[in-house]
Amino acid sequence: MFTGLIEHLGTISSIARDDAGCTLTITNSANILGDCHIGDSIAVNGACLTVTQFHPSENGGWFQVWLANETLSRTDLGERNQGDQVNLERAMGAHVRFGGHFVQAHVDTTATLVSSTPDGDSLRLTLELEEPTPERPSLLPYIIEKGYITLDGASLTITNVDDQKRQFSIMLITHTQEKITLSRKKLGEKVNVEVDMVGKYVEKSVLASLGGMESPLTQLVEKIVVKILKEKGLLPTNA
């Protein structure tokens, strides 16, 4: 479990790829390695990864993690290059204050950065989700204005949602811009997305209480939802 409060920016010093996945070596990370052990979890750009090797002081402190192909397909980490910085957070300790929100560091998908607009000292960013597929349904039901979202491992507040465009926006204050990599990403780059897991649990609990997907009550609710989506133009009228 993580909080979404980024502790440190590490630097990718080497990338070793093969057919099974990829090994990343991340340096300049001494600040988070003082209590590290082999097998510990560290969130790298929001993806929970297992430390396979580390040294607390060499090259500013370094550690290695292994990325399976599933992780590479779900995240932006397969597109990172040597020298790139990444957001780092250790797993949450029971003794620390909980300042962000419940983050599993299980990335759901990626979104594309489509707009970056200064607003005083702050920065407004808009991101666009990928087209949903049967294997990866839309995440929009879990993205609500003023709700939580995790982007590249950082806990952020959603400022706007446009369901028709599959877009949502967030704002970065000056302090946050300096502490995470998101403010430095260019338009068109991918960002790792993890929606608030509480919404998923609520959805599953509601469906269970309705008696499953085939119950009469569930079918009635489904008809109402489809009707509303058609009225809003989110579904074709002949669907």
Q: Report, as residue numbers or ranges, the catalytic residues.
A: 2, 41, 48, 50, 68, 106, 157
Contacts of 154 (CB under 8 A, 6+ apart): 4, 5, 6, 46, 87, 176, 180, 182
- Consecutive H or E run containing 44: strand 41-44
- Max CA separation in the chain (angstroms): 63
Phi, psi of 174 (to 5 degrees): -55, -45
Nearest to 80 by CA among 42, 55, 43, 45: 45
